[in-house]
């Protein structure tokens, strides 16, 4: 009889611990849901601006650019979307710097000490 009572007591302790863990998990899920919906509100608020930015820097021949332009921005592709925008802007900056250095080099051959604005 004592063993049965001891086992029931242990079972009750395990049950209480499991219920405590379930409540903790429910609380964490509610927090994650709240954070997710808040993040989705922010994303929907900036998605039009990000789409316009991508339209301005997208490469017509690039499949990924066209795919993201057609699907739009969402919670599953935001990293890829922002990474592509960053890459395209970096490419534009590099082309701009190369253009400035070529321009200033060709000018300096003809004129000594010329200041090229913006380069």
Write down the domain spans for the chain. 2-110
Max intra-chain CA distance, the chain:
107
Look at residue 40 and tell me whether its pLDDT is greater than 90. Answer: yes
Evaluate whether 69 touches 59 at the Cβ level (below 8 Å): no
pLDDT bin (cut points 50, 70, 90) of residue 97 is confident
Q: What are phi and psi of 73, to 5 degrees?
A: -95, 140
Angle among Cα 2, 6, 10 to the nearest 5 degrees reads: 170
Note the pTM of the prediction, 2 decimals: 0.63
Q: Given a cut of 70, is residue 96 above it in pLDDT?
A: yes
pLDDT of residue 102: 58
pLDDT at 115: 45
């Amino acid at each position: 009889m004592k063993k049965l009572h001891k086992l029931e007591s242990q079972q009750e302790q395990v049950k209480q611990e499991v219920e405590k863990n379930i409540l903790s998990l429910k609380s964490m899920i509610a927090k994650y849901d709240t954070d997710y919906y808040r993040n989705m509100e922010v994303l929907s608020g900036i998605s039009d601006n990000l789409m316009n930015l991508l339209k301005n820097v997208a490469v017509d021949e690039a499949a990924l650019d066209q795919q993201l332009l057609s699907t739009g921005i969402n919670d599953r592709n935001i990293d890829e979307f922002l990474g592509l925008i960053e890459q395209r802007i970096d490419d534009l900056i590099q082309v701009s710097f190369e253009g400035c250095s070529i321009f200033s080099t060709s000018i300096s051959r003809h004129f000594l000490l010329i200041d090229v604005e913006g380069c």
